[in-house]
Structure 1
Amino acid sequence: MSERGMKQYFSRLLDLLHEAGINTVIFQIRPQADAWYNSSLEPWSEFITGRVGRNPGWDPLAYMVDECHHRNMDIHAWINPYRVKLTAREGAFRETFIRKNRNWIVRYGSSLWFDPGIPDCREHIVKVVTEIVQNYDIDGIHMDDYFYPYPIAGLNFSDDASFRNYGKSQGYNSSQKDDWRRNNVNTLVRELHETIRNTKPWVRFGISPFGIYRNIKQDPQGSETDGLSNYDDLYADALLWMKEGWIDYCVPQLYWEIGHNRADYKTLVEWWGKLNFASSIYVGQDIVRTMNPGQLHEKMTLVRNNDGLKGNCFWPAYELENNTGGIVDSLVMNYHYYPSLPPVDLLAEHRAPEPVYELDLRDDYKIGKHLSWKTIRPRSEIERPAYFVIYRFLKGYEPENIEDPRNIIGITQNHHFVLPSHPYSGDWLYVVTALSRVHSESAPEGIVLRVY
């Protein structure tokens, strides 16, 4: 696809997602030790131009950041930390990056992986994330469920050498190799948390792990399921990451159907929703496995009725583009009929922005009748107003509640808002609030307009 064609595709897709009420886009920029952005550390992705390392002549991540923010949507940069090649074709080891770092790489099945037990691998991944966070105005860094690879029956992951070189010197014996593997992943997650906080503290860090943490047969605190274990098979301890505050949000991939005999969606929603950590939890929804059995309403209801869950993450985006099973129609007409402000899911300390001031009604020939306002210079970037929310109430007829999304009539990055038409005459109260980079909302400022 050409640059023009790809930009047009992304623009149309973002328009559709915005119309469907999606407020955050998770954009994959590093599927396999490559880059959908200008990197000094890893080659351009073959999925852009068809060839590894070929410069496409434009920067997809920079384009997506601008386009998402233009639509008042957040964008989280999604990386796969350890995967080097999903399919290692003949000649892969002749590629410059892989040849240069051959000692870091393990072949497992048909794929190539960084060995998580080698400290240089971890250091490289931290440098990759540092480069992304420093160079792009993203709102979050996101990793999915690929840590140690999904197990292949009868095939061992070849990390005996790194265990001898590093694991034993760290105090692990042969019976503790699983613990050592988990510690490798935990150390990466902790170091990424620290790196992001020290670089841009308003950038969130989230992970979408496999949906089963542990089965009850493995752990009495596990879920009533019988499937692969995130903790035991992928060596990923999502509960520890939330307990320690290393991730701001978690998106367990609950991709099964309601009534699945080994991993029932309802059982898992309730299990994750009972956790009591500061990290926000959103539910990862598989669109096809939701729409084909006609379970959207019941799944959305289960999430919305659970106080421990903050929302949904729909995967993959192209199924929204296809309107699979009429999902976009349902979101637009029902579940996302009113806009939703993303929750404050940053664990770092911060303050809300100062309220707007000099809120006034103006009229000029360029933009017509509009509200305008000013803002105080923020104390820090984390408190800078990223968006403004406009609420409207007919005085004397409805409660003036800014917690009710039905009262939102606009979200903008501008310091002005063009007035819509009024369905009734009377006194209309307009309220404007400022949202920070992490969605913390300021105190409201209001103005009453009389409409005849």
Structure 2
Amino acid sequence: MSQPGTPISRRRFGALAAGTAAATTAAVLPGGSATAMPAGAATAPAGTAPGTADPNAPLEQLRAMWIASVVNIDWPSGTGLPAQQQRDQLVAWFDLAVRLNLNAVMLQVRPTADAFWPSQYEPWSQYLTGTQGTDPGYDPLEFAVAEAHKRNLQLHAWFNPYRVSMQTDPTKLVPWHPARQHPEWVFAYGPKLYYNPGIPEVRRFVEDAILDATRYDIDGVHFDDYFYPYPVAGETLPDADTYATYGAGFDRIEDWRRHNIDLLVSEMQHRIHAAKPWLAFGVSPFGIWRNKASDPNGSDTGGTESYDANFADTRGWVKKGWLDYINPQVYWNIGLAVADYAKLTPWWAEQVRGTDTKLYIGEATYKVNTSGAWLDPTELTRHLTLDQQYPEVAGNVYFSAKDVRTDALGATSRVVADHYQHPALTPALPHLDPRVPNRPELARARRTADGVRLDWVGTGSPAPASYAIFRFDGERAADIVDARNLVATVRADGRVQSWTDPTPGTEPRTYQVVAVSRTGVRSAPGNARTV
């Protein structure tokens, strides 16, 4: 997707251009250390001073990377790897996220109408074992959730709704695949096979298949940019008969297609929150909704429009309150005439303003060191600096994990140095559950050979999902809004909990602990203790 007028999504670009990442059990940035931080904790250097909040260190900010499984872009690095090697690779990705002070991952668990868990609806993914339908010998999603939460990383399960296969021959699917059991549900278009979004039974089945994964303790249901497939030159979507059957009330097939995707999104939002009211639902669409030339509400751009290319009315979903977050793929550099990051970011900020939808900007880490502005190692960090002008921008997500690890031109290292020196909490979603946790009781703080050990007690309902630990220079607490005083975040694992600060320094330090709910709502700070 090097040009916004080119109808190739970042997923396809990654599949075509990236190849397969080498297997690894230690993910290290150039010049970095292979030693992971303590599990479940992201730490800040000693001596962070109280005072006015630093705009480079927001207390709440989503910092995430996509871990793509389709054609083994990121994980697993190849098919047929032993289960333990797959687990080791995934842990290495999570450890990398912790070292970079990220706080979430988007893990692709349903890339092609298949599953990275024992699904009741679809077969095991071929990207695990090399053979569709073959049990990998463990439950990857269960393992992923447990390991992410050990590190207090949110895990958003990433689903592609309608793509069935990266090739067009249904006979290459396992015989019990729903696409073979119901051949009338699918069509071939371009080089791939898709479920037909216009068939109501298909939509219900896709929703059921995705909702099956919500029995796991995931933190988000995440869709990417594929709804109807991107246009293929010289081909027409083969759904005219479906329109004739189901399109009553729509004069134009394009409006009917958009209605079909609207139904998927609105029904998913309702069904997710009916099952788990606290569970976030988000979409990562193509970065342009409509150009201003097509619609006065559109952006000052000149590229492919998701409204017409994918029949995805992404702006409408925000305005109608169907999304807890939107994560547009703003994969272009500052100053690009047809799709300027500096114009699209404020446009998206305006769309979410006054709504409950959080805005996370998708970043094209894969473009670093390719051409033009992407030869500048400061391009990515300049994006985050620009984002600070718009309070609606609540975070960033990087595509994809292997490019984050590669750290071409040191661009990721610059982002971390300029913007991620301190931990951050994931943005609160109080509209999902506004209840405030009880403040924890910090029972003891004492110096040990390993640092400063804190012991605290959490009580009440809602039970905390995690804790934020603040550290202040001197003998009194100060500003818990300033992220420079946030030293760590840890996952809640019981009523009585402890954590050791490995870098307290030798001067007096004062600590406070704050409880954080599943929806990111923070308690009042607990009592302070000084050592």
Answer whether TM exceeds 0.5 for this pair. yes
Shift of 1:332: 3.4
Query: 1:286-342 deviations in whole A, cap 9, x for unaligned?
Result: 003245332123211111221121111101111112222213422332221111111
Relative to the length of structure 2, the TM-score reads: 0.79
Number of positions where the alignment pairs a residue of Structure 1 with one of Structure 2: 438
Change (3 A) 1:396 1:359: closer
For 2:95 and 2:123, the matched residues in 1 are separated by: 30
Report whether the alignment pairs 1:287 with 2:365.
yes
Higher RCO (CA-CA < 8 Å; seq separation 6+): 2
Shift of 1:94: 6.4
SS in 1 for 2:254: helix
For 2:321 and 2:463, the matched residues in 1 are separated by: 24
Partner AA of 1:309 in structure 2? V
SS in 1 for 2:343: helix
For 2:482 and 2:452, the matched residues in 1 are separated by: 26
For 1:75 and 1:442, the matched residues in 2 are separated by: 23
Shift of 1:394: 2.4
SS in 2 for 1:91: helix
Task: Answer whether contact 2:430 2:521 (CA < 8 A) is retained.
Answer: no
Quote the residue 2:346 is aligned against: 270
Change (3 A) 1:85 1:394: same
Quote the residue 2:196 is aligned against: 115
Report whether the alignment pairs 1:167 with 2:223.
no
Shift of 1:95: 3.7
Change (3 A) 1:191 1:78: same
Task: Answer whether contact 1:431 1:445 (CA < 8 A) is retained.
Answer: yes
For 2:185 and 2:460, the matched residues in 1 are separated by: 47
| Counterpart pick for 1:434 among 515, 524, 530 | 515
For 1:142 and 1:346, the matched residues in 2 are separated by: 19
Change (3 A) 1:63 1:164: same
Quote the residue 1:386 is aligned against: 465
Q: Comparing 408-417 with 219-228, which one deviates more in the overlay?
A: 408-417
| Counterpart pick for 1:342 among 410, 422, 426 | 426
Matches within 5 A, 1:27-426: 27-89=107-169, 91-92=171-172, 95-97=175-177, 98-134=179-215, 136-168=216-248, 171-173=249-251, 176-275=252-351, 276=353, 277-290=355-368, 292-294=374-376, 295-345=379-429, 347-357=431-441, 359-361=443-445, 370-378=453-461, 383-395=462-474, 400-413=478-491, 414=493, 415-420=497-502, 422-426=504-508
Shift of 1:129: 2.2
Task: Answer whether contact 2:425 2:489 (CA < 8 A) is retained.
Answer: no
SS in 2 for 1:232: helix
Change (3 A) 1:225 1:425: closer
Task: Answer whether contact 2:473 2:510 (CA < 8 A) is retained.
Answer: yes
What are the ranges of 5 or more consecutive residues in structure 1 without an aligned counterpart? none
Q: Comparing 260-269 with 106-115, which one deviates more in the overlay?
A: 260-269
Shift of 1:209: 0.5
For 1:45 and 1:271, the matched residues in 2 are separated by: 38
For 1:59 and 1:349, the matched residues in 2 are separated by: 30
Shift of 1:138: 0.3
Query: 1:42-74 deviations in whole A, cap 9, x for unaligned?
Result: 000011111111111111111110110011100
For 1:31 and 1:61, the matched residues in 2 are separated by: 13
Task: Answer whether contact 1:359 1:447 (CA < 8 A) is retained.
Answer: no
Task: Answer whether contact 2:432 2:519 (CA < 8 A) is retained.
Answer: no
SS in 2 for 1:342: coil
Partner AA of 1:407 in structure 2? N
Relative to the length of structure 1, the TM-score reads: 0.92
For 2:100 and 2:451, the matched residues in 1 are separated by: 28
Identical aligned residues as a percent: 35
Task: Answer whether contact 1:362 1:372 (CA < 8 A) is retained.
Answer: no
For 2:506 and 2:173, the matched residues in 1 are separated by: 70
Task: Answer whether contact 2:132 2:174 (CA < 8 A) is retained.
Answer: no
SS in 2 for 1:96: coil
Partner AA of 1:105 in structure 2? V
Change (3 A) 1:358 1:114: same
Change (3 A) 1:214 1:369: closer
Shift of 1:364: 9.1
For 1:410 and 1:110, the matched residues in 2 are separated by: 47
Partner AA of 1:307 in structure 2? P
For 1:421 and 1:346, the matched residues in 2 are separated by: 33
For 2:359 and 2:295, the matched residues in 1 are separated by: 21
For 1:60 and 1:96, the matched residues in 2 are separated by: 22
Task: Answer whether contact 2:324 2:429 (CA < 8 A) is retained.
Answer: yes
Task: Answer whether contact 1:257 1:289 (CA < 8 A) is retained.
Answer: no
Matches within 5 A, 1:11-26: 11-26=91-106
Task: Answer whether contact 1:33 1:84 (CA < 8 A) is retained.
Answer: yes
